[in-house]
Amino acid sequence: MFMQANIIGCLTLLVTLGTAFKEHPHFCIETEPLLLSHIDRHVVIPSEKDLQCHIKATTLTQNEKAVLVDTLCADHGSTTVKRDNHHFLRLHNGELRGRGAQSEVCANGANSVLAWVPYDMVLRNYAAELNPKERLTYIAKATNVEREKTELCHFPHTDLVNAVTDNLFTCVVMIFGDNFYGLEDNINVLVELEPLMYHLRNITYLPWRNVSNSYKMHLGDSVLRNPSGERKPIYGSLNYEFVEKILVNMTSVYQDKKLARLPLLFEHRSSVLELDSDGVGGLDVAEKAYFGRSMDPRSEVKVQVIGQWVDQHREFGADIYEYYGHGLRRYRQPLAGAQLTFVRIDNTEPAFMAPESNNLAKASLFRDHKTDKLKEDPSGNFTEWENAQEEDFDEDEPGFYGWFVVISLLLALAVILGIYLVVRTHSRRNKQRQMYDLANTNVAPPA
């Protein structure tokens, strides 16, 4: 009961950790931008992926980031751009998490993960969450196929919250402000993607390991059988499963104060585990235990396999990546001197029960038992162990050896009888010779 309760508790922990985070099912991140030559005005049949992606963000290329910084932050001889403070939206797992200002892009050199989201998607999913009374402008880019060019522009906050979808909507070009784009053009709004968690990759462990043993656990039962007629070693194996628990020291990971305290993704046993904010995670592990012993002929022994829980304290280094969802990750910085603890089963050992021998004295009983089974089941389907027993018993039935013993006894009896007859005949002859000699002694001596 204790073992079952322990396993159920570990599996509950694993299920809880597995459902701690779920990526937004209708939010997609694209890393390849749409080229100007691919944008056309003909009707395009949406693919299944487009139907599932209600919100699609396409990350900026390095060239686009350079143009963005140059347009927003460089001195182009106009004081208007410097006074402007355009904004962008912040998204976390597809959800609106606030807004950022133009000055932030200039301060970090657009080092964050910036992306474009089509205006109609922003209008459907985020406009209702904004305050209509605010007087802001948002950074966007407009693409016109007929003029074969794409330019950075900005549009008013009121057009977004009021859901302007006619020709009144305009996107004004950033620098000169003499070009205007409407909704009939391809408008994309600038957004910043926030990381969901950190991904620890390329993990390397230090050679030292501190191990502390815990209690022992019953892993399963098995049976070793030796159906042959000679003593020999018999081997077996047992499959067992357990939940390996991982405890990462979060203080040792967040040594750099610049790192936000996000959940962790941890690479272990060719899998990526999700750890919660306390650094706790688990993995369902399947192992196999091997055991064996030398056994008497036609014997079997029951086996209980026992494993010991151990705590392995280790120190490791890794590369920290920022994970944004849907497989998008970006290298952040290296990590050294982090600590963790593995709670796993180690040092498995068999516990053999008292052997139950099937010796020759029980052979007839087993044959009668098999005959009864044959009456019940005419198909004659038996286990490999029973068949092996029957074969061994057939080998032990009287054959040439019995006749050899009988013939040997008869020959020995004949030899003894022959010796007896020879001795008796020889004895009679000696007795007759003695009588003849005695008769000769009674004759008178010659005169």
| Residues of the chain scoring pLDDT < 50 | 1-19, 81, 359-397, 447
174 touches 72 (CB < 8 A): yes
d(CA 191, CA 106): 15
Residue 324's pLDDT is: 93
DSSP alpha helices (H): ranges in 310-383?
Answer: 363-376
Query: What is the dihedral angle through the alpha carbons of 138, 141, 142, 145, rounded to the nearest 10 degrees?
Result: -170
371 touches 356 (CB < 8 A): no
Residue 77's pLDDT is: 56
Looking at every residue in the chain, the average pLDDT score rounds to 79
C-alpha 226: how far from its chain's center?
36
Residue 38's pLDDT is: 67
Give 384-421 pLDDT, tens digit per residue: 344 444 444 444 445 566 788 888 888 988 889 889 88
Tokens for 211, please give them: 């191990």
The per-type count for the chain, helices as H runs and strands as E runs, is 11, 19
Residue type, position 43, single letter: V
Map residue 88 onto helix, strand or coil: strand
- Per-residue CA distances from 313 to 143, 221, 338, 377 (Å): 56, 31, 11, 58
Q: Residue 281: CB partners within 8 Å, gap ≥ 6?
A: 17, 245, 246, 248, 266, 273, 274, 275
d(CA 348, CA 125): 56
> What are the DSSP calls for 256-278, one per residue?
STTS----EEEEETTEEEEE-TT
Residue 355's pLDDT is: 67
Q: Model pTM?
A: 0.66
Query: CA nearest 101: which of 137, 50, 152?
Result: 137
Give Dmax (Cα) for the chain.
190
Q: Assign domain 196-357 one CATH number from 3.40.50, 1.25.40, 3.30.460, 2.170.15.
A: 2.170.15
Residue 445's pLDDT is: 52
Residue 338's pLDDT is: 93
DSSP alpha helices (H): ranges in 76-199?
Answer: 79-83, 102-108, 119-125, 157-161
Domain ranges for the chain: 24-193, 196-357, 360-423
49 touches 28 (CB < 8 A): yes
Give 244-300 pLDDT, tens digit per residue: 999 999 999 998 888 888 899 999 988 889 998 889 999 999 999 999 989 999 999
